[in-house]
Amino acid sequence: MNVAEWLARSARLHPDNPALFSGEAMLCDYQGFARAAGGIGAGLGAKFDVKPGDRVAIFAGNTPAYLDVLFGVWFAGASVVPINAKLHAREAAYIVKHAEASLIFASEPLGSELAEALGQDCPPLVDLQSAGFAALRDTAPLELPVERDPGDMAWLFYTSGTTGRPKGVMISHGNLQAMVFSYFVDVDEVYASDAALYAAPISHGAGLYCLQHVLRAARHVVPVSGGFDPAEIFALARRLDGIHMFAAPTMVKRLVAAGRESGENGEGIRTIVYGGGPMYLNDIMEAVEVLGPRFCQIYGQGESPMTITALNRLAVSDRNHPRWRERLASVGCAQSIVELRIADAEGGPRDVGETGEILVRGAPVMAGYWRDPEATAKALRGGWLWTGDMGSLDADGFLTLKDRSKDVIISGGANIYPREVEEALLLHRQVCEASVVGVPDPDWGERVVAFVVAEPGCTPEPEDLDRHCLAHIARFKRPKHYRLVAELPKNNYGKVLKTELRAMLDDAQDNACPASA
């Protein structure tokens, strides 16, 4: 079944239910929402020859039009390729090319920058603010979405890998259906009176949660700012009520700090689902203290989106269980739709309390990586997804994350892979070697620190390195500190010993070469 069928059904059953909002302003009801998506779906085929199975990229910040496009692409039977709006145009261009996208929807100035990066290879590009987009939305609509099988791809999500190039995770309509049903069972219920607030990027997990709210004919609210602003969120929650939102731990921390300072108690917020990075025990304890029992936690990956484990609001707010602290520091229990295993290097099960790699299998797990059979074979072995994360299970099935076998850095809920940053630094003419690590940060979870070995006779300035990184990678990926060293510590095989680099950072001198703001 095509997941866009849920929008068509909600429009038939609840045509007058309010659907899309820009801040407090209602833009359309469910009948209008489905009509716009159906128009886009029809126009994709008639005007751009987009066929079922084709890939359509979206490179835009949060806007109500994003949801029109998302369901419009699904109405046409095509797959959405959501691109993080924070990416550099060159990074976005790689994704468009690798996905072999037939069409791009973009907001400005992202669209112009992407078109320049793609040059003659740029497929047709539709500006979301243009008259052309309005005309596309006004096309005589498809009455029903194009039929799709459960295994057909719906969402091609690019997640960076240790190779330095992003991999396209193939998520099917069946995967998304499993995610939605598991949410209702293991995380939270959704009612027609609720409102999904998109303060986190729609291009990521926050966008996928639109499906639960469409199925229940609930509201969808995009803040006027298009992003995360605690004062704006509190104001919208008080006026709209029934707010649901997804937030990275750093967002939760900022929201709690703002609430404590202003006296806000979260009135109007029903549920905050947090995930996407490490949440420290004291932070979630303070969050419940300030804003009340409104929190649920999920742990997932792009390869099994939002669906590996969950800690529901009762478990988050419980202070009576004798091991409530340990449970609150965990990421919860396996969601109903998956099986979970802690394994050794050969895939054998670890005992209770022992640390190993986290393996998961079930209906929401990806089919594989787009055009990358080698990476697919490495990630999917023996019927299990090898997550690359390390953790342990207690006797009751609560999973505690221990470490990451991959060197991913999670800053503000966004994944940053050191290899990408290192490769960018090595393009600088004064850089001989570079190695990047993540270190704990009280506000962002982790921050990026780069160790740089200069070419003989050179002394690159941190400001110059910062400008260089900004020209090649997204701003959020660039190092927050640069440390010049004579050499990088290596083992006998020439591999850089990142554990020693992290130990070196115990010296406060790592702050001597900060990046620019």
Token pair in block for residue 2: 């095509």
The CATH code of the domain that includes 436 is: 3.30.300.30
Mean per-residue pLDDT of the chain: 92
- 270 and 381 belong to one structural domain: yes
Whether the pLDDT of residue 164 is over 70: the answer is no
**Locate tokens 């990451």: which residue?**
404
Q: Is residue 400 part of a domain?
A: no
97 and 50, same domain (yes or no): yes
Region 193-207: mean pLDDT is: 95
CATH number at residue 50: 3.40.50.12780
Task: Please tell me whether residues 422 and 310 are part of one structural domain.
Answer: no
Contact 6, 220 (CB under 8 A): no
Q: State yes or no: cis peptide before 109, omega within 30 of 0.
A: yes
Using alpha carbons, select from 285, 200, 282 the residue that is nearest to residue 246.
200
Query: Cα separation of 154 and 105, whole Å?
Result: 16
Average pLDDT value for residue range 429-434: 92
Note the pLDDT of residue 493: 42
Is the pLDDT assigned to residue 510 strictly greater than 60?
Answer: no
Is 398 a member of any domain? no
- Domain for residue 401, yes or no? no
- Whether the pLDDT of residue 274 is over 60: the answer is yes
Whether 55 is covered by a domain: the verdict is yes
Same domain (yes/no): 255, 187: yes
Q: Residue 390: its pLDDT value, please?
A: 83
Note whether 259 and 119 are same-domain residues.
yes
Question: Residue 422: pLDDT above 50?
Answer: yes
Identify whether the C-beta of residue 369 lies closer than 8 Å to the C-beta of residue 376: yes
Average of per-residue pLDDT across 50-58: 98
Q: What is the pLDDT of residue 160?
A: 63
Residues 77 and 183 in one domain: yes
- Which of the listed residues 358, 390, 422 is the one where a domain comes to its end? 390
Last residue of a domain, one of 390, 417, 452: 390
| Residue 420 in domain | yes
Question: Is 464 inside any structural domain?
Answer: yes
Domain that holds residue 465: 409-512
> Among residues of the chain, what percentage have pLDDT more than 70?
95
Instruction: Verify that 37 and 128 share a domain, yes or no.
Output: yes
pLDDT digits (tens, 9 = 90+) for 457-486: 999 999 999 999 999 999 999 999 999 999
Residue 339: is its pLDDT beyond 70? yes
| Whether residue 449 is found in the same domain as residue 494 | yes
Longest CA–CA span in the chain (Å) reads: 72
**Residue 341 domain-assigned (yes or no):** yes
Judgement on whether residues 218 and 317 belong to the same structural domain of the protein: yes
- Checking if the pLDDT of 508 tops 60, the result is no
Indicate if 368 and 422 belong to the same structural domain. no
Task: Give the number of domains in the chain.
Answer: 2
Q: Are residues 415 and 385 in the same domain?
A: no
The residues that bridge with 339 in the sheet, in sequence order, are 361
pTM of the entire predicted model: 0.84
Cβ–Cβ under 8 Å, residues 296 and 271: yes
Res 2 pLDDT > 60 = yes
Pair (136, 285) in one structural domain: yes
- pLDDT tens-digit profile of 354-382? 988 999 999 999 999 999 999 999 999 99
Q: What are phi and psi of 239, to 5 degrees?
A: -90, -35
